[in-house]
Chains A and B, each alone.
Chain A
Amino acid sequence: MKAVLLDLYRFRSFIAYSFLKNIKSSSRNNLLGWLWVIVMPLIPICLYIFLQEIGFLKSSNQMARSFYVVFGITFWEVFSDSTLKVMSAPVDNRDILKKKKIPFFPIYIAALGQPFLIFLIRLPLMYFLAFKFSALSPFALLLLPLTFLPFAGIGLALGMFLSVFYCYIRDIKNVLAIFFKYMMFLSGVIIPVPSVFQGLKFLELNFIYILIDNIRLYLFNGQGSFRLTFVILFFLGLGISTIFLAYKVSIEEGNLRERL
């Protein structure tokens, strides 16, 4: 397991450059260049805020509409993008992995670059909304950038496990992408659907939704501190199990490379 962490240090510049490479290559041959990288993550958020502000989408009674949407969609997308990107990272990098003996774990970590960028771009908007609604306590203000970690952490662990499946069966990516998209709408992440339609109440059991709702509520009015303690403890456990999982996957790397 020590070797897995050591790999992260040894390949730190590879992680940084593969993230930069993806951004640079996506902004080439565009007239607006980097502007697209900033604009694209903001478009869906603006759309959902608009739909809620005009009353087309129902919002929660517990907090301001735009706060509910922006924090909900950002946390959910960090989780879902991290899972999907990490899951497909070995296949996306097969050009390199089939020729160079680079361990999988740095490739997984590099895959978190894009969700992190989206989070960074949305962070000023999140702060703006927090100040607008006087929502964040000084502690929560400091905590806000760190909210990336639990959702990316779950995405990393889940994505790593699913990447083993993805090396063998490629259908899983499409299934998961559809599942994540629909769960975002149905489980109260951006629209409190289950509270409106009682028949969909069971969707609130969606574990990620519970985490999102807890953190969102705590950031808005400081409630749910007990729940937050639970969340922090949970992620400590998750961090340890992620490293263990990375170690177990690293043992299987030889078999997985053949399947890429």
Chain B
Amino acid sequence: MNLIEVNSVTKFFDKSERKSALKELFKTILRILNLSNKQELKLNSNHFVALKNISFEIKKGEAVALIGSNGAGKSTMLKIINGLYGPTKGSVKVHGKIQALIELGAGFHYELSGRENLIFSVSMIPDLNKEEKEQLMQEIIDFSELNEFIDFPVKKYSSGMKARLGFSAAIFANPDILLVDEVLSVGDFKFRQKCLRKINEIREKAAVILVSHNLQTIKLFCSRAILFEKGSILFDGDVQQAINLYRQADSSDKEKPIAKAHLGEDFVSNELISNLEVFWCDKTKKPKKTFKRGEPIYLSFKITFKIEVGEGLLFSMPFWKDDINISSISSEYNECNLSLKSLSKGVLLKVDNTFNSGAIDSCFILTLKSEYLIRKILNPFEVTEYDARIHGVSLCSFEEVKFVGNH
């Protein structure tokens, strides 16, 4: 049974709300006064297309991930399904009660206690009698594990406690369709597992749509993925295939959000350095983006210094995968002395490829004593093969042996 049917949905937004406000207002008033039935369906230069002719269906029991880079249209799609936005063209049919986990804690008043805010949140769930509401309140408080603090004002809560309260208040609405938008990073690890277990419980009798950039969670949780790119569906089907396509699209993207989140913006000391070339390549210094697991990875870099630099030059390079710092190399620990002469001629470094499959982010760092000279986030490279749920830096081989002897 289809719980959600999205038929040829297109969505326009106005680029400049201020310019179009009067025009839009006039049209809305005409529609309210029954003087016009026209909807704006023609695309003009003032419009931004958020979604283009999107169609899909979601059945009961399915957990579907919407993936794609920022601005691809995932959240807009979620809001249209939730009924918060109307589609410009097309239609969305929803059969059942929807609950959305979007921006937890929306509407919380910080002066009021957790309990008072919960009463307000529960009052937003229609068709419950007094007893059902009281029972629900207790379940929410127990789930959030905030019994001790529930009568404290929310302004005294830590951000983790607020997220716990918000998640618990939203998850207990007993929905037929659950929409989850980037909120699965709430609280500590133990609470996150509890949340996933709860969503899994709901999934058995409902449909779940998950929007997340955490590909590991998507892999573990979803049975189907829809890849969005610039408002269109690029792929709809197997999760791993969708993730691979997403990574390919993402590695060509100039933005590197994971490393940037850890280290901030690029930095090059222009007073000290005039030329900088750094890229991933093969042993012939030909730029390369994809490496098979085990195949050596080469890093080529060339730097020209404007001043004379003595000792104390240090090179290091951290690596990330799926937002986790998985490894690093350093001239200090690897006992590699970089000479200034060789740096200006160009250096080729060979890095052991012990990484698991996936996109690997990295940052090229060069320091002189305590001062940063270069901090440049590199384009991610892709390690292929081994499609398994693997955790850790490297994959060790093992085999089963027969035990011979006495226990």
User: Which residues of A pack against B, CB within 8 Å?
Assistant: 10-11, 13-14, 16-18, 21, 24-25, 28-29, 93, 95-102, 161, 164-165, 168-169, 245, 248-249, 251-252, 254-259
B56 at the interface (CB under 8 A from A): no
CB closest chain-B residue, reference A93: B107
Q: Does the CB pair A248–B32 fall under 8 Å?
A: yes
Say whether A10 contacts B123, CB under 8 Å: no
Residue B385 lies at the interface, judged by CB distance under 8 Å to chain A: no
The 8 closest A-B pairs by CB, nearest first: A254-B86, A10-B126, A168-B25, A99-B106, A17-B123, A96-B107, A28-B111, A13-B123
- Which of B95-103, B185-193, B226-234, B235-243 lies on the face that meets chain A? B95-103
A28 to B152, CA, bound (A): 13
Smallest Cβ-Cβ distance to A14: which chain B residue: B123
Once A17-B120, A24-B116, A169-B25 are accepted as A-B contacts, the answer to whether A254 and B85 lie under 8 Å apart by CB is yes
Q: Is B28's CB under 8 angstroms from A252's CB? A: yes
With contacts A21-B116, A254-B85 known, is A16 near B123, CB below 8 A? yes
How far is B109's CA from A29's CA once the two chains are assembled, in angstroms?
A: 14
Complex alpha-carbon distance, A245 and B34, angstroms: 11
20 A-B pairs (CB sep. < 8 Å)? A11-B123, A17-B123, A18-B120, A21-B109, A21-B112, A21-B120, A24-B116, A97-B84, A99-B106, A100-B107, A101-B82, A101-B100, A161-B32, A164-B25, A168-B25, A248-B31, A248-B32, A248-B34, A251-B31, A254-B83
Whole-angstrom CA separation of A97 from B102 in the bound complex: 12
Taking the nearest CB of chain A, how far is it from the CB of B22, in angstroms? Answer: 7
Known: A14-B123, A99-B103. A252 touches B31 (CB 8 A): yes
When distances are taken between beta carbons in the complex, the residues of chain B under 8 Å from A251 are 31-32
Q: Does B288 contact A (CB under 8 A)?
A: no
A102 to B99, CA, bound (A): 11
Beta-carbon contact of A164 and B116 below 8 Å: no
Contact indicator A95/B28 (Cβ below 8 Å): no
Are A164 and B112 in contact (CB-based, < 8 A)? no
Q: How far is the CB of B21 from chain A (nearest CB, A)?
A: 5
When C-beta atoms are compared, the residue in chain A nearest to B124 turns out to be A14
Return chain B residues, CB-CB under 8 Å to A96.
Answer: 106-107, 124
Q: Are A95 and B107 in contact (CB under 8 A)?
A: yes
Minimum CB–CB distance from B398 to chain A (whole Å) comes to 48
Residues of A within 8 A of B98 (CB): 101
Within B71-87, which residues are at the interface with A (CB < 8 Å)? 82-86
Q: How far is the CA of A98 from the CA of B79 in the complex (A)?
A: 9
* Residue contact B28 to A99, C-beta cutoff 8 Å: no
Q: A99-B103, A100-B106 are in contact. Are A249 and B32 (CB under 8 A)?
A: yes
Q: Which residues in chain B, 96-155, are within 8 Å of chain A measured between CB atoms?
A: 98, 100, 102-103, 106-107, 109, 111-112, 116, 119-120, 123-124, 126-128, 133, 153
B24 at the A interface (CB under 8 A): yes
Taking each of B17, B83, B98, which has the highest tally of chain A beta carbons within 10 Å of its own beta carbon? Answer: B83
A11 to B123, CA, bound (A): 7
**B29 vs chain A, min Cβ distance (A):** 6
Contact A25 B22 (CB under 8 A): no
**A28 with B126: in contact, given A96-B106, A168-B25 (CB under 8 Å)?**
no
Count B-side interface residues using an 8 Å CB cutoff: 36
A28 partner residues in chain B, CB cutoff 8 A: 111-112, 153
Assess whether A168 is in contact with B32, with CB atoms less than 8 Å apart: no
B17 touches A259 (CB 8 A): yes
- Cβ B32 vs Cβ A101 within 8 A: no
B31 touches A25 (CB 8 A): no
Which residue of A21, A169, A245, A249 is within 8 Å of B21 (Cβ)? Answer: A169
Closest to B130 in A: A13
Name the CB-closest residue of A to B86: A254
Task: List 20 other contacts, CB 8 Å, given A101-B98, A248-B32, A254-B85.
Answer: A11-B124, A14-B124, A18-B120, A21-B109, A21-B112, A21-B116, A24-B112, A93-B107, A99-B84, A99-B100, A99-B106, A100-B100, A164-B28, A165-B29, A168-B21, A169-B21, A251-B31, A255-B28, A255-B86, A258-B13
Q: How far is the CA of A249 from the CA of B32 in the complex (A)?
A: 6
Also in contact, A11 and B111, with CB within 8 A (given A99-B84, A168-B22, A259-B17):
no
Looking at the assembled complex, report how far the CB atom of A252 sits from the nearest CB atom of chain B, in whole angstroms: 6
Could you say which residues of chain B place their CB within 8 Å of the CB of A25? Answer: 109, 111-112
CB distance from A112 to the nearest CB of B (A): 17
Residues of the A chain whose Cβ atoms lie less than 8 Å from the Cβ of B128:
13
Q: How far is the CA of A168 from the CA of B23 in the complex (A)?
A: 10
* Residue in chain A with minimal CB distance to B133: A13
Residues of A within 8 A of B107 (CB): 93, 95-96, 99-100
**Nearest Cβ on chain A to B196's Cβ, whole angstroms:** 22
Beta-carbon contacts under 8 Å, B201-224 to A:
none
Residues of A with C-beta under 8 A to B153: 28
CA distance A168 to B29 in the complex (A): 11
Q: Hey, which chain A residues are within 8 Å of B133, CB to CB?
A: 13
Partner of A101, one of B25, B83, B106, B112: B83
Residues of A within 8 A of B28 (CB): 164, 168, 252, 255-256
Assess whether A17 is in contact with B119, with CB atoms less than 8 Å apart.
yes
How many Å lie between the Cα of A78 and that of B31 in the bound state?
29
Expressed in whole angstroms, the minimum distance between the Cβ of A30 and any Cβ of chain B is 11
Residues of chain B lying within 8 A (CB to CB) of residue A102: 124
